[in-house]
Structure 1
Amino acid sequence: MTTPDAMAQWPNGRLLSTAARLVEHAWVDALDSLGLTHAGLIVLHLLGDGARSQTELARQARVQTQTMSRTLDRLEREGLVARIRDERDARRHLVTRTDAGTAAWQQARTLEADVFPTLENADELRAALLQIITASSAERW
């Protein structure tokens, strides 16, 4: 096992990548206990403000439409979302959270406090992470 003293010499990117993997593993385990995936949790969160199209959800989640389609298929099979015909455009479907989806979201939304360690400078970390994400995704999205 690498000691904290040895990790102090690592470049920031390696530290961020290692921290992200560790947090992701904890998230996966916690979400799995609720029958959810990280992608599913994102969708349930985005649907909290109301129905969205698959394309809108993909854009907001920053994934490809095909990836969103697979996530929605799984959530629909689990009874957590429903696809309904758009009243304004019969060719289009909107995705909504079901009551079961809302209940799953309510259970999962407090997981971060259980999974992520409390930090003294959490606001500074958050600002730095947002800056990294914005700079790194500017050309991609």
Structure 2
Amino acid sequence: MTADPERVRADVGSWPTGRLLAMAARVVEGRFEGFLAGLGLSHAGLIALHHLAAGPLSQRELARLCRVTDQTMSRTVDRLTRTGHAERTSDPHDRRRMVVTATGRGAEALAAARAEEQHSEHLFGAVDDYHHFRRQLITLITHAES
């Protein structure tokens, strides 16, 4: 039995905004997951590559920027190195410190993911103005964190 689209829209229209945001996040994340898997990436790997785009970072600094524990970042970097998206080396100045660098394959995957995010009808096709929507989300998040 298929639900009547107008009834579904009316029900969703009655939801509190927080629930709408949570559901939208799950829908987009679920759709994007398949695309990322095709690139050999996870959401965590994509976030790490985003931060590595500016240049190499210590694994600890990368964890801090991604807002995860060192242990979680270690697993993410392990996967990125296995898939060829990043390289991990010892810092020549401090052998205890690990430095992570995105590879060419990592940079290409990041560019493909960014293009898919912005231009795919499957992800944000229902949004009238992607850039305005993105600015609104940034405002909401940064206001909530201040």
Normalising by structure 2, report the TM-score. Answer: 0.82
Q: Pairwise mapping of residues 30-69 of structure 1 onto structure 2 (< 5 A)?
A: 30-69=35-74
DSSP 3-state at the match of 1:35:
coil
Of Structure 1 and Structure 2, the greater strand share is in 2
Greater RCO (Cα-Cα under 8 Å, separation 6 or more): 1
CA RMSD for the aligned pairs? 2.0
Specify the alignment match of 1:14 in structure 2.
19
Q: CA deviation at 1:136?
A: 4.3
1:109 to 92, 110, 114: 114
2:141 to 110, 133, 140: 133
Specify the alignment match of 2:127 in structure 1.
119
Cα shift readout 1:78-132 (whole Å, capped 9, x = no counterpart): 1211112212323212000122222322332211021222523545533432233
Which segments of 5 or more consecutive residues in structure 2 lack a partner in the other structure?
Answer: none
Q: For the residues of structure 1 that align with 2:78 and 2:12, how far apart are their CA atoms? A: 41
DSSP 3-state at the match of 1:119:
coil
C-alpha contact (below 8 Å) 2:48/2:66 kept by paired residues: yes
Query: Structure 1 residue 84 and structure 2 residue 89: aligned?
Result: yes
Cα shift readout 1:7-44 (whole Å, capped 9, x = no counterpart): 11110001111111100111101111221111111111
Letter of the aligned partner of 2:137 in structure 1?
L
Of Structure 1 and Structure 2, the greater helix share is in 2
Q: For the residues of structure 1 that align with 2:73 and 2:144, how far apart are their CA atoms? A: 21
Q: For the residues of structure 2 that align with 1:33 and 1:91, how far apart are their CA atoms? A: 34
Specify the alignment match of 1:26 in structure 2.
31
Which segments of 5 or more consecutive residues in structure 1 lack a partner in the other structure?
Answer: none
